[in-house]
Homo-oligomer: A and B are copies of this chain.
Amino acid sequence: MITRNLVNNCLNTKYEDIPQEVILHAKKSILNWMGVAIGAAYHPSVEMLISLKNDLQSSEQVSILGRREKADLLLSTLINGMSSHIFDYDDTHLDTIHHPSGPVAPVCFALAEKFNLSGKQVLRAFILGVEAELRISNAVCPSHYDLGWHITSTAGVFGAAVAAGILLELDEEQMLNALGLAGTQAFGLREMFGTMTKPFHPGKAAENGLLAALLAQKGFTSSKQVLEAKRGFANVTAPEHDLEQVNINWGTQWETLKNAFKPYACGIVLHPAIDACIALGKQVSDPSQVKEIEITVNPYVLELTAKPEPKTGLEGKFSIFHTGAMAFLEGDASEEQYQDAKVLDPKTLAFRTKIKPVVNESFEEDEAVAKLTTVDGKVYEYKVEHATGSIENPMTDEALCNKFRKVVKGILGSDSTEAIIAKLYDLDSVANINEVIPYCTPQTATV
């Protein structure tokens, strides 16, 4: 009954049942998602999908965020979900290292654009989709992720299907079929990290979940117990799991509130180390005085980011060496610090050999200590209890808006930029999503 209970919980949760703080956090999540999607809209991998769109002669149904092209409902959803994860700058549910908006938000915006839906409809669908995917992630973590599944797409496809099902007004049986059809399409190997295929995962999960709901609406049949069946999602993909987590404290516990936003354009596991290196960079201004910086972190950090000699900006995001060097040298870890040229800059190369990561099993994932030793033998130490962007130390509204402005700069004009920020903070008053969408399209054909 796990799957059926989840479906009923979703269908029975009206917009009015959702607390205002959850609504507000969803608005911020959407703003954050839309910014990083627009910011990556001209990445080479997106250009390849645009080329595919042309090959397929896809119909112009839904906007591709940050571009003038449109594609059909499914392909545009894939592209907008993929682009939002390209910079590794999107949101994170730290308990499960799941990036919740990528698979869910593009589904909401695609359907809302096509069917002229309201901001409140989008907010309800988004929140229920995010609750569904994150509760499923809670149920299968950590064994599912440890085995090698990229949980953002494997659990994300359920969130995409729930969000689509809510907006398509599926009934209980249709929604069960949609979850069956979504769950059987769950995919995504962690082996792909560091390649274009990683951001492809949430995009395709969004598309697969939307496809599931569209077919379920037409009467397509599937398993109605995809989560709990003997050969269903949990048993097949998670050696250990606790399906109680899927429906526990529904309506009082909101996973949406645990969604954290990244101040830096790389995996969230690196953020405490970045905070610490930025702080040390303010204390020691001359790089030539630095003998080494020892950074102590949670073991996950080195499992994911131990690349000593990155060759591209993308690889740099998976390198604590490059990232620590940038944070110290430039005081930031934005997209600018992950350009290919930065990774290959001799100054960066020379400095990154001074970064010495150390693992400490007792450290939390949002904790780090950086210890700088100068060539003269002086020692500076900086301890980060909770990284900026964590739940305990969240980004301020101002910081979040500035992040949006920074990532869309060069693509959108400032009028459009400010209009989007205002509309999304007031999303519950937006009668038709098509009041927002046109601002996401640049005014000139090329940027």
Contact = CB atoms under 8 A, between A and B. Distances in A.
Nearest to A185: B187
A236 B72 contact: no
Contacts of A74: 56
A201 B184 contact: yes
Contact of A196 (B190, B221, B236): B221
A236 B149 contact: yes
A274 to B, nearest CB: 25
A375 interface: no
A218 to B, nearest CB: 4
Contacts of A57: 59, 61, 72
A260 interface: no
A46 to B, nearest CB: 11
A192 B231 CA distance: 9
A184 B49 CA distance: 18
Contacts of A201: 184
A197 interface: yes
A17 interface: no
Interface in A169-200: 180-181, 183-192, 195-197, 200
Interface stretch (A222-230, A248-256, A323-331): A222-230
A215 interface: yes
A379 interface: no
Interface residues of A, number: 55
- Most chain B CB atoms below 10 A, which of A44, A45, A74, A220: A220
Contact of A220 (B48, B181, B204, B230): B48
Contacts of A226: 189, 191
A351 interface: no
A286 interface: no
A51 interface: yes
Contacts of A58: 58-59, 72
B184 A187 contact: yes
A222 B192 contact: yes
B219 A195 contact: no
B181 A223 contact: no
A148 interface: yes
A223 B236 contact: no
A417 to B, nearest CB: 30
A190 B231 contact: yes
A52 interface: yes
Interface in A67-86: 72-74
A388 to B, nearest CB: 29
A121 B8 CA distance: 51
A437 interface: no
A136 to B, nearest CB: 14
B184 A191 contact: yes
Contact of A61 (B56, B181, B236): B56
A219 B186 CA distance: 25
A214 interface: yes
24 contacts: A45-B220, A51-B218, A52-B215, A55-B214, A56-B59, A56-B61, A56-B74, A58-B58, A147-B231, A148-B230, A148-B232, A180-B191, A184-B187, A185-B204, A186-B187, A189-B231, A189-B232, A189-B236, A191-B232, A192-B223, A196-B220, A197-B220, A197-B221, A200-B220
